[in-house]
Structure 1
């Protein structure tokens, strides 16, 4: 009778945290090691994020370097920074020695310049040290800043038998073998090799005979977002990185790209919400204020602009008080339509799925705005006339203004993100407060201009 493997999902509970804290307080290292032994390093990192700094450092120093190195990579950035500050340069170097070069470079890059030099000086493996220093020279938002040096490469002139012997040695340094890369005598990437083809090939065949010359790759200076798009498009688990001469430098794996996509999504979400910097909920008040205040000030000036427009038509509102009642409707509708249109465009730009010319896109939004405007205007016409007892001309004014404002907001919400993107500006800044504020102002202005044209004040 075969045994079934029980899949137990990790759950962080108060009881577990209390148990860990009691064992630390009692200095019961054996029991603590036994408790944490079967936990994944990501789960242990989650536990450490809930402990105070001294308790977290206690566990870091208790467990073996191979485990704690992975734990450090999973810790919350702020907590990792605090832990690293309380470890010696030698201790950090020992932890880094257990990590792949890309992860090691990521940790070192978070340290102050003087500590970077100290930690690097304590790395005993000279090859590992040199590779980390190489990675630190690249901008973190490029392919070079993402890549790891660990990979499996073979020369096209090798035989299958010789290749298998050498691969065994290389694979010891690679966590997961996604692909085998084929290079020439100058280490230039010339193809890739699947494990299946290698296994079924004859032992005396040359690698050049069984390798595939069609291989996707990125340049070391390519932007991280562009790398993510390539890997997403072709469903790649890993992609090789080359320099301008086509020399193979390293590889980027899917886990690094997931982090890039997550960070970019968080940044775009915050920009869309009117937050100008990368902040988190537990950041201090000053950091949160700096991130939020700029867009709030823009919204304030936009509101003052709308107020001045309304004030300019104060006499008209005394004569036609019904106009005043529908100002919130005009503003809310303009803001909502603009955000909807811009959000769709920004999403298309981010996924690289926005096709066609700007004119065709604007024409489509014009027709969509017209249809939506007519539908909403019909409902508002009935409500305004029967519920608010507006006159025929007042109801007509409100409806025509609604249709016009919806079309205008749709066009603005579509054009601005595309315009910003073509000038190299993150289109996410177009959504949220920017579109809402601009459409509020233009919507109110259009509302009263149409009212003036129809009602003749």
Structure 2
């Protein structure tokens, strides 16, 4: 059954904290899942949340830190000493510990690292901190199980038992040479069914996907998705095994990338959260609003330049909003599919076949819409040539919008710019200006004004 926070639970928790009944507090919380625990901490006072961290064992609270919202975690860490933070990090995997340390100030970071009890753990964390956050090196775990190709199966099993003590889940057994260079992986089935005297070099599988420390995290996600991997090894510039990336790390990458693309598509230039300040929210949202305003002013000049036409063909102006909305929708649909293809690897660069397919779909859509408009205009206004001009204009504008929506994301991607920016205000506002210009140009050609 899914956990639900109740008012009674919160009141009971607050009462135990106020009376400093630490023993009962531990009984109440110790069996609770860390994700549910984090949900509770979001509902109580920051001082009460900090008190809980100081009372409970670090083995329990360390996992909770990872589940907290960034602001709450930051506030709790500010209230903990360097030694208390180090006790939490000693219980975490290296990449999780490195993520938390990376949020601290430079001075606090050094203090916490110096307080870490496990020297090897501290060295691994420091090693991870040197990699950019959006690379394989920045998201990998240092914890893994590796065996030497020169060992036999018996030695291998003994060493694996020692290494596995500090690892929560063993996804793969990696095989390295004497220089720690990655050679392949070892099948658990082969390990169990092979003689204990057999050399590992005779049974390991050399075919293995891997990434380098500087591979972008989104590329790692693409590779793992393509080959349906639960984990992937990470090697350095010399091919030495330095870590592994697991599927839960990649889920975080995919979520972050999806959130960023969604915001870009909505015209939000910075990564923001609902609890950010008014200033941060405004700064992220205002730029595209201003750009949109400028583009729409240009569109108004196009309309103003055709004022004389409206006196003779008044129904032309009536269909301008429909034209803008249709062109915007077609453009956003086309760009969204391209951005999705670029993200999942089904579309890597310009494809003549796909472009032709998109234009065909747009042509069919435009023809159907134009037929409805032609019939509607003919019935309502009995101006058949004007209706014909509007219908043809709509088809041309739709084809233009589809072309823009398809090619712009590809151009941005080629120039190392996130193509998701092309799925929002950029496409809709650009289509407004050029769509109106095309609309009147085609109408003028047909009507002769």
Q: TM-score, normalised by structure 1?
A: 0.96
Deviation at 1:52, TM superposition (A): 2.0
SS in 1 for 2:440: helix
Aligned to 2:400: 408
Q: Are residue 273 (structure 1) and residue 269 (structure 2) matched? A: no
Q: Are residue 147 (structure 1) and residue 132 (structure 2) matched? A: no
- Which of 311, 317, 326 does residue 318 from structure 1 map onto? 311
For 1:217 and 1:192, locate their aligned partners in 2 and report how far apart those are by CA, in whole Å. Answer: 11
Aligned to 2:52: 59
Alignment coverage as a number of residue pairs? 449
Deviation at 1:358, TM superposition (A): 3.3
Contact 1:330 1:402 in 2 (8 A): yes
- Which of 64, 68, 80 does residue 73 from structure 2 map onto? 80
Matches within 5 A, 1:34-113: 34-113=27-106
Contact 1:322 1:390 in 2 (8 A): no
For 2:434 and 2:35, locate their aligned partners in 1 and report how far apart those are by CA, in whole Å. Answer: 50
Deviation at 1:356, TM superposition (A): 7.4
Aligned to 1:337: 330
SS in 2 for 1:393: helix
For 1:265 and 1:221, locate their aligned partners in 2 and report how far apart those are by CA, in whole Å. Answer: 21
For 1:343 and 1:122, locate their aligned partners in 2 and report how far apart those are by CA, in whole Å. Answer: 49
- Which of 293, 306, 327 does residue 286 from structure 2 map onto? 293
Cα separation, partners in 2 of 1:402 and 1:60, compared to 1, 3 Å: same
Aligned to 1:5: none
Aligned to 2:435: 443
Deviation at 1:390, TM superposition (A): 4.3
Contact 2:186 2:205 in 1 (8 A): yes
SS in 1 for 2:285: helix
Contact 1:365 1:407 in 2 (8 A): no
- Which of 243, 252, 255 does residue 250 from structure 1 map onto? 243
Deviation at 1:134, TM superposition (A): 0.5
Aligned to 2:114: 121
Deviation at 1:94, TM superposition (A): 1.0
Q: Are residue 264 (structure 1) and residue 236 (structure 2) matched? A: no
Aligned to 1:427: 419
Cα separation, partners in 2 of 1:21 and 1:271, compared to 1, 3 Å: same
For 1:30 and 1:144, locate their aligned partners in 2 and report how far apart those are by CA, in whole Å. Answer: 41
Query: RMSD over aligned Cα, in angstroms?
Result: 1.2
- Which of 133, 136, 143 does residue 129 from structure 2 map onto? 136
For 1:257 and 1:182, locate their aligned partners in 2 and report how far apart those are by CA, in whole Å. Answer: 23
For 1:91 and 1:351, locate their aligned partners in 2 and report how far apart those are by CA, in whole Å. Answer: 42
Deviation at 1:119, TM superposition (A): 0.9
For 1:380 and 1:21, locate their aligned partners in 2 and report how far apart those are by CA, in whole Å. Answer: 65
Unaligned runs of 5+ in 2: none
SS in 2 for 1:99: coil
Q: Over residues 56-105 of structure 1, what are the superposed CA-to-partner deviations in whole Å (9 max), with x where a residue is unaligned?
A: 11111121001111100111111111111111111111111111111110
Contact 1:45 1:71 in 2 (8 A): yes
For 1:25 and 1:270, locate their aligned partners in 2 and report how far apart those are by CA, in whole Å. Answer: 42
For 2:317 and 2:382, locate their aligned partners in 1 and report how far apart those are by CA, in whole Å. Answer: 12
Q: Are residue 391 (structure 1) and residue 383 (structure 2) matched? A: yes
Q: Over residues 191-250 of structure 1, what are the superposed CA-to-partner deviations in whole Å (9 max), with x where a residue is unaligned?
A: 101222111211111111111111111111111111111111111111111012111101
Aligned to 1:224: 217
The farther-off stretch of 264-273 and 356-365 is 356-365
SS in 1 for 2:27: helix
For 1:375 and 1:200, locate their aligned partners in 2 and report how far apart those are by CA, in whole Å. Answer: 65
Unaligned runs of 5+ in 1: 1-7
Q: TM-score, normalised by structure 2?
A: 0.98
For 2:349 and 2:271, locate their aligned partners in 1 and report how far apart those are by CA, in whole Å. Answer: 33
